[in-house]
Structures are given as C-alpha cells and as structure tokens.
Amino acid sequence: MNNLKKTVAITGASRGLGLVMTRDFLAAGDTVYALVRSDGKELPSLLPRFPDTLIVVPCDVGSTESVNRAAKAVKARTDHLDMLVNNAGVNFDLGHLVDYTRADFDEMDKTFNINTAGVMRVVKAFDPLLREGSWSFAVSSGAGSITRNPATEVEIAYRVSKTALNMAFRLYSNTIRKRKVRTLLIDPGWMRTDMGGPRATCDPEENGRLIVDLLKSADTLSEDILFVDFHGKEVPW
C-alpha cells in the first residue's frame, strides 16, 4: 500500500489488539471506524485527540442485525474502505485444556458464532465498501493451523473455530479476489490480553505495532500467500 491516508474499519476495537491497532492507525493520520460491542475504558479517551478521524460504531459481530446496522452507519459516512480488519474474537475456554472425550460440544456454538460466523457476517455486510485495491484482513491464530496442532489437551472450541475461520476466509478470498480485493489471515501471536491470558508470551503493544506495519505493507506480499504471522512469515494450514 502507498503512504496515502487510509480509511480503516476494525472490529473489537475497544480493547487488546484492536485498541492498539486503532491507536496506531489514528496516530498515522488514518481514519478509523472503531466497531465495538462496548466502548471500553480507553477508547473514549481517544475521541478528543482524534475528533475527525475516530468514528465509534456499535457492532456486535455475534448478531447479524447489529452487523448490518453498523455497516449501514459506516456507508452513510464513506463510500469505501481501504482496509477491513476483522479482529473481534473470544476464547471462552481460556486455560481449560481438555481432549475430545471431555469437551462440551454443546457449548462450542457460542465460540463459533463470534470467531467464525461473526467474521463472515462482517465481510458480507461491508462488502459494498471494498473496491479494487482494498484489503480484507482477519485475525486468526496459529492455534487454528492443523499442521501446528499435535497436542491432545487443548482449548478445543477456540482452536476449531479458528480452523473453520481459515477455511471460510479462504473460500471468501476465492470469490472476492476476482474484484482485485486482497485478503489476509494473520496469526497475531499469543498475547497478554483478556483473550490470551496473563501467561501469554507476547506484548500486545509490540505485536500490535508490528501488525499495523504488516497491514500497511501487505501489498508487498505474494498474492499466493493468505496466512501469515505478525512478522509476515507464512503460516502452514
């Protein structure tokens, strides 16, 4: 991507990685549509600093009605997005490691509704704002890589939801690339956020900056690459 100011929409922008990305894009002079289920503690403090470039839009990715309403609100203010960043996600099983014999499969739909269906709701609703040269990103996880998962006791719902997201996003990519809109799945690393927990190995501030740099330079990646880590290195499926 060139250095012109961008118009960016980010889901889950009120905390964790989403908040870091929001701050970094705003600091670079970009316009950010912060799509949030709730404003959180820090996001409102950015409004006085960026009154013209930060637009907070209510959006619960777990609800089709809410996503459609958010898309309508964004379309009323802009005719395009340079970047759509699907960042919102959940891990209801944080620290609860089980094998398949002890998993509660009746509870998995809550995770899938956000991590998998939620992303696809957003890309469907915001599709009219993506034009040739736009990017559609989704924060996935190395935990969704089949190749990288030899363990037996894991946070099953979270990992399977990210694997499903990878497939759904691949199919989406197959369609939207015909319009010369590019897509990318990103493994952000195991970060010390509400979703990653305090034992995580990565600092969200540092990884967030690396990811924003990656998003801004994504045009340099081969069009055959769809899944990368926060350094831009390809992640195996």
pLDDT the model gives residue 155: 86
Residue found under tokens 């009605």: 65
Instruction: Give CA separation, 95 vs 158, 215, 226, in Å.
Output: 11, 30, 29
List the end-to-end C-alpha distance of the chain, in Å, as a whole number: 26
- Cβ atoms 89, 114 nearer than 8 A: yes
Strands in 112-233 per DSSP E = 130-139, 182-187, 227-229
pLDDT, block means (10 residues), the chain with 237 residues: 84 94 97 93 94 98 98 98 97 82 90 97 98 97 89 88 97 96 91 66 78 94 94 94
Structure-block tokens of residue 231: 């350094």
Tokens of 226: 């769809």
Alpha carbons 39 and 27: distance in angstroms, whole number: 19
pLDDT at 190: 66
Instruction: Return the SS3 of 150.
Output: coil
Q: Which fold has domain 7-229?
A: Rossmann fold (3.40.50)
> Hunting for tokens 């996880």 — which residue is that?
141
pTM: 0.93
Check residue 180 and give its pLDDT.
96
Distance CA 175, CA 178 (A): 6
Per-residue model confidence (pLDDT) at position 47: 96
- The CA distances from residue 110 to 39, 40, 91, 99, in Å, are 22, 22, 10, 19
Please list the alpha-helical segments (H only) found in 14-137: 16-27, 43-46, 64-75, 108-115, 117-126
H helix runs in 96-155, sequence order: 108-115, 117-126
212: amino acid identity, one letter: V
Q: Which two tokens stand for residue 168?
A: 């759904």
- Separation CA 68–CA 72 (nearest Å): 6
Q: What per-residue confidence (pLDDT) applies to 200?
A: 62
Cβ(54)–Cβ(27) below 8 Å = no
